[in-house]
């Protein structure tokens, strides 16, 4: 996103990832640099880093206790397939012009992207650095 441009982010008090965890977004941290503007609503790009940490911890959980552990236990091919399925669902929702479905499917895509990155041994910080280098 170009510097100075703001993305509209809808307020969400709780995110429930696929294995039932509840996370409380803490809001945007101060300190410069590009970030997603949350206009005080509690959503921030930092939340994705928090979710990444939760996914990393869930990867070590027993598969019967965690969807994330179960999915990662099925192997990277299954994780990649699931990410692809969710991506197609997002594209279809966008093509249908359904903002509510786009939000829901985009959340699924972000979650499954983070699971895919975990399975591939790539951190979100590495992806963000790659994006930054392309700026």
Domains (ranges, CATH) in the chain?
A: 67-133 (1.10.287.1080)
CA distance 57 to 107: 19
Judged by average pLDDT, the poorest of 19-28, 42-51, 100-109 is 19-28
What confidence score (pLDDT) does residue 9 get? Answer: 31
Nearest one of 35, 34, 15 to 25, comparing CA atoms? 15
SS3 content of the chain, % helix, strand, coil (to 5): 55, 0, 40
Q: What percentage of the chain reaches a pLDDT higher than 70?
A: 68
Strands (E), the chain: none
Per-residue confidence (pLDDT) for residue 18, from 0 to 100: 53
pLDDT at res. 44:
75
Q: Tell me the mean pLDDT in the region 43-68.
A: 91
């Amino acid at each position: 996103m170009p510097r100075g441009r703001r993305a509209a982010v809808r307020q969400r008090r709780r995110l429930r990832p696929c294995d039932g965890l509840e996370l409380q977004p803490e809001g945007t941290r101060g300190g410069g640099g590009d970030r997603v503007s949350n206009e005080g609503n509690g959503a921030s790009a930092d939340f994705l880093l928090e979710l990444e940490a939760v996914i990393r911890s869930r990867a070590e959980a027993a598969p019967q206790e965690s969807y994330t552990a179960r999915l990662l236990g099925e192997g990277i091919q299954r994780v990649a397939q699931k990410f692809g399925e969710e991506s197609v669902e997002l594209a279809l929702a966008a093509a249908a012009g359904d903002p509510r479905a786009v939000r829901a499917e985009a959340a699924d895509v972000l979650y499954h992207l983070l699971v895919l990155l975990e399975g591939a041994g790539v951190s979100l910080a590495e992806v963000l650095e790659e994006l930054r280098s392309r700026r």
